[in-house]
Amino acid sequence: MSKLKFLFFTLIISSGLYSQDKVSEATVIYIEPSDYVRIDFSKDSSDVWFVIYKKGFETKSKRDEATKQRTQKIGILPPVRIDLDFSYGFMSKGKPEILSDLSGQDYVMVSDFREKPDFSCPFFMIYRIGERYLKWKLTQEVKK
């Protein structure tokens, strides 16, 4: 009976450690200036909004063409603005962490995130301004 208790106790402890590891994982996205991303900062950079355009909608011309095709497909006359889901939106409230370099940072590029977006864990965004990197903890904006 004591071996069974020990096995049960070990199973409970190991599953608890595993679940703690899963919670601590995060997706860190590094943004290059050349990425098709819209970024809006407040004056003191404490509030920031990131919009990552989905694969296939990276440029304005691609989004305009999709909107035009959608408008023609449903036959709305006169044409009206149709809000298609072209992007993933993220926001942060609070000052970013300032990094001098990216050593020790495990991150994915925007292009990798577009290929395989993962929303199962917390998000961080890193953006270079001058010689320093700013890192924000993000929340995903909910589309209405």
pLDDT confidence of 79, banded at 50, 70, 90?
low
Assigned domain for 106 exists: yes
Helices (H), the chain: 2-24, 60-74, 110-115
What residues contact 55, with CB distance under 8 A and at least 6 apart?
114, 115
Question: Domain for residue 125, yes or no?
Answer: yes
More confidently predicted of 42 and 102 = 102
Does 73 map to a domain?
no
Q: Of 16-30, 67-81, 127-141, which gets the smallest average pLDDT? A: 16-30
Structural domain of 123: 25-54+88-140
pLDDT confidence tier of residue 126, bands split at 50, 70 and 90 = very high
**Is residue 41 assigned to a domain?**
yes
d(Cα 35, Cα 74) in Å, to the nearest integer? 32
What local confidence, expressed as pLDDT, does residue 125 receive? Answer: 92
Q: Report yes or no: 138 and 50 within 8 Å, Cβ to Cβ.
A: yes
Average pLDDT over residues 133-139: 89
Closest by alpha carbon to 82, among 60, 67, 72?
67
Provide CB contacts within 8 A for 7, sequence distance 6+: none
Instruction: Tell me the pLDDT band of 48, cut-offs 50, 70 and 90.
Output: confident
Domain count, the chain: 1
| Cα–Cα distance measured from residue 50 to residue 137, given in angstroms and rounded to the nearest whole number | 11
Greater pLDDT, 114 or 69: 114
Residue 122 inside a domain? The answer is yes
Name the average pLDDT for the chain.
76
Predicted TM-score (pTM) of the model is 0.66
* Position 104 in a domain: yes
The reply to whether 16 falls in a domain is no
For 134, list phi and psi in degrees, rounded to 5: -110, 135
- Contact in structure between 142 and 65 (CB atoms under 8 Å): no
**Given the structure tokens 């917390």, which residue do they identify?**
122
Structure tokens at 75: 């036959």
